[in-house]
Every structure is written in structure tokens, then in C-alpha cells.
């Protein structure tokens, strides 16, 4: 039995240099004030998800309408107008939320403060699912924009998407300010590109009287069987277009990231985002109707608009690149808000405490990494197909919208601050509107995948409650109330498993004898010849400490040792502790650890959940 430990510690400086290269130098806690964002950078960080939705929201409306007839596509404009009204209602409602909760007014905080913990957990679960889907959908849509331009990459879209998730994860691990600087450029390029495209198209339509019609190859239709245009059919198209509202809550979640006065700056940024989003969404829908765009297997609707207006020239390429970039980087909104939400929930003991730890770069690194892993798994499951992911997408976000607005209504009714009636009315309208939309989405998209989210949310809530119960139990058992007096221990019984007799074992023996005079060395004999060698060496170097040889005819190391410890355990007094000292030699290089067995690690793992044991590692460092 060779007991050893990795020597990666000796190469820590090299790994730390690689870490600095990828993530940058660590930031002191006092530097957090310098990581705050201006309104311009905050718009890029927190609005990229919402703004990028115009690249696929109109397409999702047409995707449903195309299942009926060519005449049904004419409904895209009134449906887009209804969604724009809803967008304005939700935007102004969240503007109130920002000023009511300047420390961060996400749905979880608002619901916890006004509706109770269960509703808060429903909101938290809904948002976490939505943020994960945001990453998967936006990156998959960005890859779709690339494959529309470069079709030969289509078979590799899932791989490209996962690599992009990895890159965005690394960028976010570098810190808020650096990620904002990186993401600002593509966000504003996209805004400029979309407004230029819409402006050129509308001016041409106004002066020429018509737009060029686009030729569509490989048209696709929704997996629906629709007889005529029914109310249910229209509502389904409306619910599909409501993906344009995803990301609206992000700014209210991220208020602490703004420069002072944070609430005022966040409110102004929100209104700016809503105005830009409304203009772009209505403009894209109008142009799509004007050129006769329809969903295609090989080309996005936005690409069709750009091709019809600009041809295949540099302006078309610029629009496609800007679209791809904003879609790929729209995931940054989720990477900004998911870790913050996880921090709040970890602070309230509903998520693992590690989610609340600030990393070297003053960001919640564990939450960022966790989100990247979840989104990558989701992309592989759906093979980077946005049409497969989108039916799951808007369900959770409208649950959180509704709970946030109803929570605000409850707050106004409870506090009755000046002007509370008007504020309550605005939030009530917002809450009612989002509740109706949620019911529409849940009913019209249930069989298409929304049922997955509807089932996952209560499952998440149960997990959160179980985590909370665990932390309560731990706190109770660790509490010093009614503890009584300290128990005086006798000298511990020390057991020292050995895999041979060498310098590392003798160093561990010296340490063991400093703990107690009652020391027993244990050797598990898998070979009679090796057992004889150990006996001879121990007689010379064991310094009188007793050695127990445990025969192991089936060559198992752990089982005989655990059986022996169980015998010792049966003889001990209630407050006695068995101390297991593990001698380990530490290799000079981490890869050299792979050349040795891992018995010490297995012993430590086997004893981890057994009461009444203390396990101590005694390392012996080998020279380089």
C-alpha cells in the first residue's frame, strides 16, 4: 500500500501565473467601487439579452403563423403591436420596482419581502431556469446567424456554441468592468446596424412605395395542424413573440453594479433599453412583412431582410456580423444576473453557501461557472436548435414578472407611501398583463416543451427548501446553547496505516507518538513476501511501537482496515476519539502523482462519514 499525495503545491506559482493570464490579477475588496458601471456600459451588460431578442422574436411569430396560410402572416403586425404595448407596461412597472428596491429589486427579493418565502423561491427557480435558457438560446441563435452566412458550419453548430459559452464564461470571470468594456462594442454596433437597417428600409418603402421581395429556400413550418385562423392560433403566435420581453428584469436585478446614484442610473438605463427595444422589434416586424419574409431552414428572417435590402454586399455582412456578435454575447446578461440571484438565495440559505463567495476578480465566480456548465449541457441536448429551446424560454420569465408586480402591489397596499394608489395601479396592470401572458404561453406551448419548465419549477423549489432545512439542522447541531461543559478527553487511540517502512512513515510515526503513547501501526498484507519485509524493517525502525498485520487474501486494502477499525470502535468509551494518522509522500510534480496508488485518499474517503474519527495527513515532500 503506497500512501502518497499530489505534488501540485510545488508548482503552484506556475498554475497561478496561468490563472492570472486567463483571469487577470486579483482585485482587493476595496476596489469594488471602481468596478461599478456607467449607464452606457450597463446598457451593454444588462440589455444585450433584451435587445438581441429582436433577432428571433419576429421569426418566432412567423414560425407559428406560417403553419396556417400565407394570409396568416399578415397578423404579424397587430401581434407585434400588442407585444410592444405589453413591453411598455412591463418596462414602466419595473421602473417603479427599481426605485422601490434600490439595493436590487429582482423578483426574488420583491416576492420574499411581500409575498413570503415560497413565492420567492418560485420566482428564484423561474429566473434561474430562464437565465440558463437565455445563455443557450442567445448563443444558439448567434450560431444560427453565422451558419446563415456560412452554411458549411451548420453541422458543427452545437460545438461552436459550447466553445462560445466557454469564452464568455472566461470573460465574465475577469470581472464586471472588463466584461462590460468587451461587450459594449458589439452591443452598440448591433443597435447602430438595426436602426440603420430599419431606417433605410422604411425610407425606401416610403419613397419607392414597395420593398424588394425575398426568395426563400427550404421554408419550414411549425409542427402544428391548424384548420383556419383561430383565437388559439393567434394566441400561440403572440406567446411565441413574447420572447421579446426576456431580459427586461435584468437591470432591476443588477442595480448594485451601477455607479451612484445607482437607482436613478438604473431607471434611466431601463427606459432607454425599452425605447430602443420597442423601435427595433416593431421595425423588424414591419420590414419582414414588407419583404415577405418567412422562416427557413437555412436562413434567419433577419438575414432575409438584410439580403433583400442590401444584397450580399458589405452592409449585409456587417449586419450579420453585428447580429451574430450581439446574440453570442447576449448571454452576458444571464452571466451578470444569475450569479447575483444565486448570491441572494445563498445568503438566505436556499442555495449552497459557495454561491455567495466573491472570487479574485470581485465577481461570484462559482455562479458564473455553474451557469456555463448548465447552458453547455442544454445546448448539447437540443443540438443548438433555437426552435427547440424557445418553447421552454418565456414560461419562467413571465412567472417572475407576475410575482414581482404582484409583490409590488402588496408593498404599496402595505406601506401606503405618498402616491401609492397610482403606483399600485401601474404594478397591478403589469401583474395582470403578465399573468394573462403566462397563462397563454403555458396553455399554447405546453405540449411543445413548456411542460418541462412547469414541472422543473416545483422541483427546484423542493431542492431549495431541502437545502434550507439542511442549513437549519446544521446550525441547530452546532449551536452552543444548552451545550453544557467541555468534555476532557483521554489520550486518543492512534492508528497509523502504513504501506511500507520508509522515511515518510517514520516522520508520521514521530508525529503520532507526540499525540499519544497509544499508537498502533497497521499493515494490510496482500503478499506474504512483502509482509515479511515489512516485519523485518519494523523490528529495526518501529521503535517499539506495536505493528498489526492484517492478512488480505483477496488483495483488498480498505475492507480489512475498516474491519479492524470497527473492532477498535466497539471497545472505546462514548467520548473517545480514534485518530487515524496517514503518512503520505508528496511528489515533486503533479503528474508524478498518477504513477502511484491513491490508498490514502480512499481511506480518508471511507472514514469521512464515520463518527468518532479524526484523520490527519502527515506529508513527506520528495525533492525535485
The pLDDT of residue 4 is above 70:
no
Q: What pLDDT shows up at residue 392?
A: 77
What whole-number distance in Å separates Cα of residue 616 and Cα of residue 624?
Answer: 25
The DSSP 8-state label assigned to residue 217 in this structure reads S
What whole-number distance in Å separates Cα of residue 338 and Cα of residue 336?
Answer: 6
What whole-number distance in Å separates Cα of residue 370 and Cα of residue 365?
Answer: 9
pLDDT-derived band of residue 219, with 50, 70 and 90 as boundaries?
low
Element (H, E) at 207: helix 176-208
Q: What pLDDT shows up at residue 228?
A: 56
What backbone phi and psi angles, to 5 degrees, belong to 585?
A: -95, 140
The pLDDT of residue 341 is above 50:
yes
Question: Residue 346: which of 337, 355, 338 has the closest Cα?
Answer: 355
- Give, in words, the CATH class of 493-621: alpha beta
The residue-averaged pLDDT of 220-244 equals 69
What whole-number distance in Å separates Cα of residue 543 and Cα of residue 546?
Answer: 9
Report whether 614 contacts 530 (CB < 8 A): no
Average pLDDT across the chain, whole number: 83
Q: What pLDDT shows up at residue 6?
A: 43
Lowest mean pLDDT among 79-88, 136-145, 493-502, 527-536: 136-145
- pLDDT, tens digit (0-9, with 9 covering 90-100), for 541-586: 998 999 999 998 888 888 999 999 998 888 877 677 899 999 988 8
The pLDDT of residue 276 is above 50:
yes
pLDDT-derived band of residue 524, with 50, 70 and 90 as boundaries?
very high
37-471 falls under which CATH superfamily? Amino acid/polyamine transporter I (1.20.1740.10)
Q: What pLDDT shows up at residue 195?
A: 93
Domain boundaries, the chain: 37-471, 493-621
The pLDDT of residue 25 is above 70:
no
- pLDDT, tens digit (0-9, with 9 covering 90-100), for 508-522: 999 999 999 999 999
Amino acid at each position: 500500500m503506497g500512501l502518497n499525495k499530489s505534488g501540485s503545491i510545488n508548482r503552484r506559482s506556475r498554475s497561478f501565473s496561468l490563472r492570472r493570464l486567463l483571469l487577470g490579477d486579483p482585485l482587493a475588496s476595496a476596489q469594488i467601487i471602481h468596478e461599478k458601471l456607467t449607464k452606457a456600459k450597463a446598457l451593454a451588460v444588462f440589455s444585450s439579452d433584451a435587445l438581441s431578442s429582436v433577432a428571433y422574436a419576429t421569426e418566432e411569430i412567423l414560425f407559428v403563423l406560417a403553419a396556417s396560410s400565407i394570409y396568416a402572416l399578415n397578423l404579424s403586425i397587430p401581434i407585434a403591436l400588442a407585444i410592444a404595448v405589453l413591453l411598455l407596461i412591463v418596462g414602466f412597472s419595473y421602473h417603479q420596482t427599481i426605485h422601490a428596491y434600490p439595493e436590487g429589486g429582482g423578483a426574488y427579493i420583491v416576492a420574499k419581502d411581500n409575498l413570503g418565502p415560497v413565492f420567492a423561491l418560485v420566482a428564484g427557480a423561474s429566473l434561474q431556469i430562464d437565465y440558463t435558457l437565455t445563455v443557450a438560446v442567445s448563443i444558439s441563435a448567434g450560431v444560427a446567424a453565422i451558419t446563415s452566412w456560412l452554411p458549411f458550419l451548420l453541422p458543427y453548430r452545437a460545438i461552436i456554441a459550447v466553445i462560445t459559452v466557454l469564452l464568455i464564461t472566461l470573460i465574465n470571470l475577469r470581472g464586471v468592468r472588463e466584461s462590460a468594456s468587451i461587450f459594449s462594442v458589439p452591443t452598440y454596433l448591433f443597435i447602430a446596424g438595426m436602426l440603420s437597417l430599419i431606417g433605410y428600409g422604411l425610407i425606401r418603402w416610403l419613397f419607392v412605395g414597395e420593398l424588394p421581395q425575398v426568395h426563400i429556400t427550404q421554408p419550414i413550418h411549425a409542427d402544428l395542424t391548424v384548420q383556419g385562423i383561430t383565437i388559439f392560433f393567434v394566441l400561440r403566435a403572440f406567446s411565441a413573440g413574447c420572447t421579446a420581453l426576456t431580459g427586461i428584469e435584468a437591470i432591476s436585478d443588477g442595480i448594485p453594479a451601477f455607479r451612484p446614484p445607482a437607482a436613478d442610473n438604473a431607471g434611466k438605463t431601463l427606459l432607454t433599453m425599452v425605447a430602443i427595444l420597442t423601435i427595433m422589434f416593431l421595425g423588424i416586424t414591419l420590414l419582414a412583412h414588407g419583404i415577405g419574409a418567412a422562416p427557413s431552414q437555412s436562413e434567419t428572417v433577419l438575414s432575409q431582410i438584410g439580403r433583400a435590402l442590401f444584397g450580399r454586399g458589405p452592409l449585409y455582412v456587417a449586419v450579420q456580423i453585428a447580429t451574430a456578435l450581439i446574440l453570442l454575447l447576449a448571454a452576458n446578461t444571464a452571466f451578470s444576473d444569475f450569479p447575483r440571484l444565486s448570491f441572494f438565495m445563498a445568503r438566505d440559505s436556499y442555495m449552497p453557501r459557495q454561491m455567495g463567495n466573491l472570487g479574485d476578480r470581485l465577481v461570484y465566480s462559482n455562479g458564473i461557472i455553474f451557469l456555463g456548465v448548465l447552458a453547455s449541457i442544454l445546448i448539447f441536448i437540443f443540438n443548438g436548435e433555437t426552435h427547440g429551446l424557445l418553447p421552454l424560454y418565456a414560461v419562467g420569465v413571465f412567472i417572475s414578472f407576475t410575482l414581482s408586480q404582484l409583490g409590488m402591489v402588496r408593498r404599496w397596499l402595505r406601506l401606503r407611501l405618498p402616491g401609492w394608489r397610482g403606483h399600485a395601479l401601474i404594478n397591478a396592470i403589469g401583474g395582470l398583463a403578465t399573468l394573462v401572458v403566462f397563462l397563454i404561453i403555458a396553455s399554447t406551448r405546453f405540449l411543445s416543451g413548456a411542460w418541462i419548465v412547469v414541472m422543473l419549477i416545483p422541483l427546484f423549489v423542493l431542492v431549495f427548501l431541502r437545502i434550507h432545512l439542511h442549513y437549519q439542522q446544521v446550525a441547530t447541531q452546532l449551536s452552543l446553547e444548552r451545550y453544557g461543559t467541555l468534555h476532557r478527553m483521554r489520550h486518543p487511540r492512534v492508528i497509523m496505516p502504513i504501506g511500507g517502512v520508509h522515511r515518510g512513515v517514520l516522520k508520521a510515526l514521530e508525529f503520532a507518538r507526540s499525540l499519544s503513547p497509544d499508537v498502533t501501526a497497521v499493515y494490510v498484507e496482500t503478499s506474504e513476501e512483502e509482509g515479511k519485509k515489512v516485519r523485518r524493517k519494523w523490528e529495526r525502525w518501529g521503535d517499539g511501537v506495536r505493528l498489526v498485520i492484517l492478512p488480505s487474501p483477496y488483495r483488498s486494502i480498505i475492507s480489512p482496515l475498516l474491519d479492524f477499525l470497527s473492532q477498535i470502535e466497539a471497545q472505546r468509551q462514548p467520548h473517545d476519539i480514534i485518530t487515524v494518522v496517514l503518512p503520505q509522500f508528496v511528489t515533486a510534480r503533479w503528474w508524478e502523482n498518477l504513477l502511484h496508488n491513491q490508498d490514502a485518499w480512499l481511506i480518508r474517503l471511507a472514514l469521512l462519514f464515520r463518527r468518532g474519527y479524526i484523520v490527519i495527513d502527515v506529508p513527506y515532500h520528495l525533492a525535485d
